[in-house]
Structure 1
């Protein structure tokens, strides 16, 4: 192994990497994120499941070895010889898992209050790349480990058992908490060096505070309801189902607005319905009732008022998402939004728009699209 490393360092590529090693974390970050983006797709795919479970398992093993490598039992073994690479391995697994969750959460997050949790994940991803020297801090190690572990089980358990609700989220958190505390206790008992370096009570208190914080986030709907994700959501003039395809007609955006499909101003003619169409991704065999909560902004009170909750069920497995729509008649002019929510009132996404009454068709034209 050492000879291989020496030969590698003497190559042109090896010398280039050595000269530019200060940029290596950024390059590996970009490469890892691009790799995950290209290879990870559905959380319920066998490939994705195997990759995530492998990363989580190897992270746990590496964390144990890194914190016990100075013990006499590893003397003369290959584990001791290559222990200098353990921090890099830990950082790699932290980065791989956090980038994967960023990719999955990006599908689920709406531009609403759940965006806060998504930003937190992104910050964790960047922090992992730029805090390499802090990885030896055991409080930081296990804090990040628990956060990633909680996120891992919150994704994986609903996917495996084909069910998602508040009880499952609580169970996922408890399993993560139990696994993390078991690993910490095992390391603490196995390593005199660890016992001398940290206070077990302080570390457990830190883990419990993170556990409580995540549950508070969940209670206040600050966490997207993964593994569900809203693939598409738009306000439309017409929705028709033909041969298991939904033909959606909506107003065309100006050419320079490329980040949103539908026009935010709905030009409504007399007697016309207002449709809201959504496509929701769900893992295979996972069934869930989804609600469209219609809200109108009341300028007199300055508050959003709920007008209707209309439900429909999604069943998982379809790559392009499971589709549904609701509609209303005789809507007043003004600001409207439709929240796409679960039974637990966790927000999948928001479709917001403004209704303006008009006697003429929309001058920008219409788009017909199949979903």
Structure 2
């Protein structure tokens, strides 16, 4: 064993790592994000649930171990030998959980005004790589922990109870708040160094501020209704259902427009109906109502006007999302968007298009595809 260690220390690979040590965090961050992208799929899948729960549990334990280390609690023990790595371990779990949530959110077709919450997750994800020297700040530690915890329970509780609504979101927030405050009080009571370093009143006030801010985000519908996500959304000329397949005829966009399947200009011939098709991911056994809110931009008033809300039930469990469509025949030219919303009017996604009446249809751009 000793010979193997000596050979490793003197090998070219070890020397290469030593010379490029400063790039290691970036490489591990990139590799970890790519790994999460290819391994994480459905939030209700056993692997994903175990992954997230394990990371959340280990993050909580790591925070406890780290905060008691300054009191000499682990001196002379097996844990004490590796105490210098606690900040890196905490950073690793912060990064792992935030990257997982970013991946789940990013799979939605359109984030619309919920982009603000998504940006917060992105900031947390990338800022985590620069927190190595700041991670010992206990105010920062527990603030990030609470935000991660809130997002974790917002995903997990609907998955387990098979329901999603405002009450479930409030429960998720209260569970997160309660568990975070319990951890803070437990560490504060167990660690004399923590009691001298922080003001419990100040830290609790900070957590409560973050809790209230998150609920304000929800009130103004700036938080997407996780774990629901729109997998596909497009405007079509025709929708047919055959052998449990939805066959769509639509105008495809150029290959380099990778973020949208349909062409933004919808060329409407005569009085043909306009279809909007969506597939919405929902966890297994979760049933809820969603609506297609059709909105037209009035150039005279410069406002978006709601023309109709058309609802249908979504049943969770299908890997590529629950499929559904709505259509309208009484439409005018101009800018349109169909917001896919919940009963609480939280936005799952948006399908944008511009209707242009035409007498000569562009057949070359038509595509037929089954979903």
TM-score using structure 2 length: 0.96
Secondary structure, in 3 states, of the residue corresponding to 2:369?
A: strand
Match of 1:64 in 2: 64
Deviations 1:65-89 (A, max 9, x none): 0000233442311111210011111
With over 3 angstroms needed to count, the CA separation of the structure-2 counterparts of 1:175 and 1:255, relative to structure 1, is closer
With over 3 angstroms needed to count, the CA separation of the structure-2 counterparts of 1:5 and 1:208, relative to structure 1, is farther
With over 3 angstroms needed to count, the CA separation of the structure-2 counterparts of 1:50 and 1:188, relative to structure 1, is same
Q: CA deviation at 1:208?
A: 0.8
Match of 1:166 in 2: 166
With over 3 angstroms needed to count, the CA separation of the structure-2 counterparts of 1:209 and 1:3, relative to structure 1, is farther
How far apart, CA to CA, are the structure 1 residues paired with 2:3 and 2:342? Answer: 57
Q: CA deviation at 1:3?
A: 10
With over 3 angstroms needed to count, the CA separation of the structure-2 counterparts of 1:4 and 1:296, relative to structure 1, is farther
Q: CA deviation at 1:177?
A: 0.5
Match of 1:110 in 2: 110
Q: CA deviation at 1:142?
A: 0.6
Correspondence 1:48-63 to 2 at 5 A:
48-63=48-63
Deviations 1:277-332 (A, max 9, x none): 00000010111111000011111100000010000111011011100000011311
Match of 1:142 in 2: 142
Q: CA deviation at 1:15?
A: 2.6
CA contact (8 A) 1:105 1:118 kept: yes
How far apart, CA to CA, are the structure 2 residues paired with 1:165 and 1:8? Answer: 55
CA contact (8 A) 2:109 2:259 kept: no
How far apart, CA to CA, are the structure 2 residues paired with 1:77 and 1:7? Answer: 29
CA-based RMSD of the aligned residues comes to 1.7
Match of 1:316 in 2: 316
**Which blocks of at least 5 consecutive residues in structure 1 are unaligned?**
none
With over 3 angstroms needed to count, the CA separation of the structure-2 counterparts of 1:4 and 1:132, relative to structure 1, is farther
CA contact (8 A) 1:254 1:364 kept: no
Secondary structure, in 3 states, of the residue corresponding to 1:43?
A: coil
Deviations 1:7-31 (A, max 9, x none): 7554433332222121111111101
Match of 1:367 in 2: 367
CA contact (8 A) 1:277 1:325 kept: yes
Secondary structure, in 3 states, of the residue corresponding to 2:261?
A: coil
CA contact (8 A) 1:253 1:364 kept: no
How far apart, CA to CA, are the structure 1 residues paired with 2:11 and 2:63? Answer: 32
**Equivalent residues, number:** 371
Q: CA deviation at 1:344?
A: 0.7
How far apart, CA to CA, are the structure 1 residues paired with 2:100 and 2:302? Answer: 40
TM-score using structure 1 length: 0.96
CA contact (8 A) 1:252 1:364 kept: no
Match of 2:332 in 1: 332
Match of 2:184 in 1: 184
CA contact (8 A) 1:225 1:346 kept: yes
Match of 2:222 in 1: 222
With over 3 angstroms needed to count, the CA separation of the structure-2 counterparts of 1:148 and 1:6, relative to structure 1, is farther
How far apart, CA to CA, are the structure 2 residues paired with 1:109 and 1:254? Answer: 17
Q: CA deviation at 1:109?
A: 6.3
**Which blocks of at least 5 consecutive residues in structure 2 are unaligned?**
none
How far apart, CA to CA, are the structure 2 residues paired with 1:327 and 1:226? Answer: 26
Q: CA deviation at 1:258?
A: 3.6
Secondary structure, in 3 states, of the residue corresponding to 2:325?
A: strand
